[in-house]
Amino acid sequence: MKIITIVGARPQFVKAAVLSREFKKHTGIQEVIVHTGQHFDSNMSAVFFDEMQIPQPQYSLDINGMGHGAMTGAMLAQIEQIIINERPDAVMVYGDTNSTLAGALAAAKMHVPVIHVEAGLRSFNMHMPEEINRILTDRISSLLFCPTDAAIENLEKEGFKDFTANYYKVGDVMEDAAIFYSGESARRAKVIQELKLETKPFALCTIHRAENTDDLNNLRSIVSALNEINRTLSIVLPLHPRTKKIFEVNNISPEFTVIDPVGYFDMIELLKKCTLVLTDSGGLQKEAFFFGKYCITLREQTEWIELVENGYNYIAGTDDKKIVRLAAKLAGREFPDKKNLYGNGAAASNICKIINEQFNR
């Protein structure tokens, strides 16, 4: 069978690397990779293909720098033409970006089955573009691969038992990636040495959600908290160029270490060596867990409720005092034993097995 894989953003490159490697073990699966260009900076895109040995995309659309509607529409139009040319048996999409929705819409309107990896997640915050993307993608997908029990429960509450789509709990391919690439990152990453962090305790932070970067009150509150924490625990923040420009234009002055976006191997090493993680990224919340680090989530909710329920993740929102208080509480605290929440590295194998069963009946 032929599968078109749609990717466009950092977390999707990581997930696609895992599935592409698994597809190679199955001689009956031919993969055609389409890179929408949603993340176009080399440190956000090309470096992942190079580092993680993902097959180079057969199609690179170079669609970026637009509003949500224009971006999604441009992607949809070009992906539709690729589907016409390639005539795939299915289109696979990941997560909850504009690339995800565009790929799913293009396929569904042409009656090509949609496979959604990381289905069923919900923040229940309809102000998040990602929430809209994931809900719509789930509803038009034929085969949904859920990472957690909570994701399955969300779909069933929305009536998926009565729909024609098939959904399965398979685990999380992000954990597959963390396990597989951990040894490689230790050999190849240089970021710890370059930043002279070998013996220096530090917290790793990322900020990229529009609810934080586009709301100056939220952004100033987060930076204020990070500046306060940095006085006793160094903060390292890989920052997207767009957010860096927002800092500059609005005279927001970080007193901590701001670096350019890093590749996946460097991020793994930062996670391994850090004392604490602060982030508004869904993916990094899980990766903190994979590498045994407490996480403070800089949002009012999370899709990964099992991390909160088990005491690995703490919701701080953008309240500067709460962020500082939680950092003081968690920094240096011993991480508890990890439960098997995400499949322990078997997600990709589970997905390929089900795809073969569904399409080779």
Active site residue 240: no
**Mean pLDDT within 217-226:** 98
CATH top-level class of 187-330? alpha beta
Residues 44-48 have a mean pLDDT of 61
Q: Is the pLDDT at 153 greater than 90, yes or no? A: yes
What's the pLDDT at 11? 83
DSSP annotation string for 286-355? HHHHHTT--EEESSS--S-HHHHHTTSEEE-TT-HHHHHHHHHHHTTPPPPPPP--S-TT-HHHHHHHHH
The fold adopted by the segment(s) 2-171+346-359 is Rossmann fold (3.40.50)
Confidence of residue 103 (pLDDT cuts 50, 70, 90): very high
CA distances from 242 to 217, 237, 249, 297 (A): 17, 14, 11, 21
Extents of the domains making up the chain = 2-171+346-359, 187-330
For residue 100, is pLDDT > 90? yes
pLDDT at residue number 332: 85
Whole-number pLDDT of residue 40: 63
| Predicted local confidence at residue 51, as pLDDT | 73
The pLDDT score that the predictor gives to residue 58 is 94
Which of 24-33, 196-205, 292-301 has the weakest average pLDDT? 24-33
pTM, 2 dp: 0.89
pLDDT at residue number 49: 72
Residue whose pair of structure tokens reads 């329920």 in the numeric block: 309
Q: Select the more confidently predicted residue: 312 or 39.
A: 312
As separate numbers, helices (DSSP H) first and strands (DSSP E) second, the chain gives 16, 13
Residue 65 has pLDDT above 80, yes or no: yes
Flag whether pLDDT at 360 surpasses 90: no
pLDDT of 152: 98
Measure the CA angle with vertex 113, ends 109 and 117; round to 5°: 115
pLDDT band at 44 (very low <50, low <70, confident <90, very high): low
Predicted confidence (pLDDT) at residue 27 exceeds the cutoff of 80: no
Q: How far apart are CA 225 and CA 320, in angstroms?
A: 5
Does 187-330 match 2-171+346-359 at the fold level? yes
Q: Which of 68, 111, 208, 240 is catalytic?
A: 208
Instruction: For 229-243, write each residue's pLDDT tens digit.
Output: 999 999 999 998 889
Task: Return mean pLDDT, the chain.
Answer: 94
Q: Which residues contact 109 (CB under 8 A, 6 or more apart)?
A: 80
**Long-range contacts, stretch 78-84, CB < 8 angstroms, 24+ apart:** 79/6, 79/34, 79/36, 79/103, 79/106, 79/107, 80/106, 80/109, 80/110, 82/4, 82/32, 82/34, 83/4, 83/107, 83/110, 83/112, 84/110
